[in-house]
Structure 1
Amino acid sequence: MSVTLKLKQLSYDYPNGTGLANINLEITAGEFVCFMGPNGSGKSTLFNILSGLKVATSGAYYFQQTQIDASYLKKPQQRQRFHQQIGFVFQNSDVQLFNLTVADEVAFGLRQLPLSPAEITQRVNDCLELTGCSQLRDRVPYHLSGGEKKRVALASVLALNPSVLILDEPLNGLTPAAQQEIRHLLTQLQQAGKTILIASHDYVQIKATAQRFIVFNEAHQIAYDVDQATLAAKPELEAELALL
């Protein structure tokens, strides 16, 4: 499998401190990776860089062998193409939902592209069905439950058919039933060829779904990068992740 994302000695500095410190990382196409670590350890900063919302202070970020930096993102066509390939679902769905109906929400990004009305309608219908949101199409997004909002936000991102999905705490605050729906959907998307990156504070919630676990420490560095087989062989490490 080809490497989709590569970070080389990447760091990010905030005015009042470090966000990320010397991160080296490769993620292969089709992986399901969970990022863990204490609050403020760098997970959200990393996701913002991977999705092009922030640019590293130093080091390099490559997406499909192309370096993603300030000069690359300044060019509108390149930036649009990049944002179509990497879909980011925010931790707070209310930040992401702003249209009057669910159907309009899913169609919003598509209407910025040179697509026919028929193709937009087809993509909207497909993504609503895939995420179990068809019955919500005429609802007002901010009237929905937390789990419904998560699924609508995901549908709006999937409409652009990205190859990589980044989700910041997608299970946070959801009922067990809604968590199971999201986990099942993410597994389906990975099986369809998507690369899935999520952040989670709860190892128990995600341990059977993610295949690889990258854990940040309070120094904003990667402390562990392990797969399910390694964790199964090291119960003391699994116990440590469960306490994060």
Structure 2
Amino acid sequence: MITLDQLTYAYPSGLGLDKINLQIKRGEFVCFMGPNGCGKSTLFNILSGLKVASSGTYAFQQTTIDATYLKNAQQRQRLHQQIGVVFQNSDTQLFNLTVADEVAFGLRQLPLAEAEIERRVNDCLVLTGCRQLRERVPYHLSGGEKKRVALASVLALNPDVLILDEPLNGLTPAAQHEILALLTTLQQAGKTILIASHDYLQIKTSAHRFVVFNEQHQIAYDIDRTSLATKPELQKELALL
């Protein structure tokens, strides 16, 4: 579904990603880990079309995603529908006057009837446990509520891939559990889940695969959950990130 070949991204101050080779299959639940500044957010920005690699290739469903592809507004919109992103800071993603309007915003950019928009909004509010928040102002919500509303607004577009950048940060243990339970349900329904997290102990039973970056902006480990269970020293290393 996603193929990266020698993918590199250079900032003016230095490399953000260095020759990344990676394949992700449809329906996987992959956790990306590593120290701060190692390249996780940069990678997510490239996958979602917000940045373009400096070199190497990125293919999504066998289509090369590059500057030429993203210059086409229709193609760019299609990618953003297929790959939904929940940013680390939900406040940057929520800007409407009510939760219902927030979830409907992306849908209203599409040629959909109002009845279909309303159906999707209701479905996503129920799915994310936000129905009671429908008329609330997003800015006034708790951190966990904001995360769920941001997720509902992304799910409304029915993307194939969900990217979540540190979605557990700043949440109570109960809110973290709710988010992970929902992501597991979505993965079981066929969604591809890509999540960045520093909390290995929290994520270890949810993710099926762990891609770990080092400080050199390279992939140090790419290991499935079963294999990781046989490597206690690596588990300790991940728990300390």
| TM bucket normalised to smaller | over 0.9
The aligned residue for residue 59 of structure 2 is: 62
Alignment of 1:75-154 (within 5 A): 75-154=72-151
| 2:173 alignment partner, one of 172, 176, 200 | 176
SS in 1 for 2:217: coil
| 2:195 alignment partner, one of 195, 198, 207 | 198
The one-letter code sitting in structure 2 at the alignment partner of 1:151 is: R
Q: Distance in 2 between matches of 1:217 and 1:69?
A: 25
The aligned residue for residue 35 of structure 2 is: 38
The one-letter code sitting in structure 2 at the alignment partner of 1:73 is: L
Q: Distance in 2 between matches of 1:179 and 1:218?
A: 27
Q: Distance in 2 between matches of 1:38 and 1:177?
A: 25
Q: Distance in 2 between matches of 1:135 and 1:35?
A: 32
> What is the CA-CA distance between 1:186 and the residue it aligns to?
0.2
Q: TM-score, normalised by structure 2?
A: 0.99
> What is the CA-CA distance between 1:75 and the residue it aligns to?
0.5
| 2:153 alignment partner, one of 118, 131, 156 | 156
> What is the CA-CA distance between 1:231 and the residue it aligns to?
1.1
> What is the CA-CA distance between 1:104 and the residue it aligns to?
0.1
Alignment of 1:225-244 (within 5 A): 225-244=222-241
The CA deviation string for residues 7-62 of structure 1, in whole angstroms up to 9 with x for no partner, is 00000000111100000000000000000000010000000000000000000000
Q: Mind listing any 5+ residue stretches in structure 1 that lack a counterpart?
A: none
> What is the CA-CA distance between 1:237 and the residue it aligns to?
1.1
SS in 2 for 1:111: helix
The one-letter code sitting in structure 1 at the alignment partner of 2:6 is: Q
Q: Mind listing any 5+ residue stretches in structure 2 that lack a counterpart?
A: none
SS in 2 for 1:233: coil
Identity within the alignment, %: 80
Q: Distance in 1 between matches of 2:228 and 2:5?
A: 26
The CA deviation string for residues 104-159 of structure 1, in whole angstroms up to 9 with x for no partner, is 00000000000000000000000000000000000000000000000000000000
Q: Distance in 2 between matches of 1:243 and 1:176?
A: 18
Q: Distance in 1 between matches of 2:191 and 2:136?
A: 28
The CA deviation string for residues 170-210 of structure 1, in whole angstroms up to 9 with x for no partner, is 00000000000000000000011000000001101100100
SS in 2 for 1:59: strand
Residue range with higher mean Cα deviation, 229-238 or 109-118: 229-238
The aligned residue for residue 186 of structure 2 is: 189
| 2:221 alignment partner, one of 218, 221, 224 | 224
The one-letter code sitting in structure 1 at the alignment partner of 2:114 is: P
The one-letter code sitting in structure 1 at the alignment partner of 2:99 is: V
The aligned residue for residue 47 of structure 1 is: 44
Q: Distance in 2 between matches of 1:82 and 1:220?
A: 25
Q: Distance in 1 between matches of 2:229 and 2:173?
A: 24
Q: Distance in 2 between matches of 1:192 and 1:24?
A: 27
Root-mean-square deviation (CA, aligned residues, Å) is 0.4
